[in-house]
Amino acid sequence: RKEVEQDPGPFNVPEGATVAFNCTYSNSASQSFFWYRQDCRKEPKLLMSVYSSGNEDGRFTAQLNRASQYISLLIRDSKLSDSATYLCVVNRNGNRLAFGKGNQVVVIP
């Protein structure tokens, strides 16, 4: 089983709609969690950290479920500029990060 699993999609989302996707991780000792955004042929950039209590940044909401070992990302009121691949990142310990293969989001006008 891979350390971090994501459904690559694509997730085709009408503009203005809400899209949500999960990422599961295998190591229960994982300590910290992140969502990175990667535009086509660009480098990944940090979107947001994921806290135990959940967190929100504008139209983006991230949740962590330790019992079921998954994190989620929800995007409300999708914009065309949200089209990208969203990478789930899990830190087991120290600086050992594991990346998922990403959820590809395509926002359709």
Binding stretches for other proteins (CB under 8 A): 4, 8, 32, 36, 42-46, 87, 91, 94-97, 99-102
Q: Of the two residues 76 and 101, which places its CB atom closer to other proteins in the complex?
A: 101
Closest distance between other proteins and the C-beta of residue 16, in Å? Answer: 28
**Hey, how many other C-beta atoms are within 10 angstroms of the C-beta on 38?**
17
Q: Is 95 left (phi over 0), alpha (psi -120 to 50) or beta?
A: alpha
Which is nearest to 74 in space by CA: 13, 26, 5? 13
Closest distance between other proteins and the C-beta of residue 44, in Å? Answer: 5
Q: Of the two residues 17 and 46, which places its CB atom closer to other proteins in the complex?
A: 46
Closest distance between other proteins and the C-beta of residue 46, in Å? Answer: 5
**Hey, how many other C-beta atoms are within 10 angstroms of the C-beta on 90?**
24
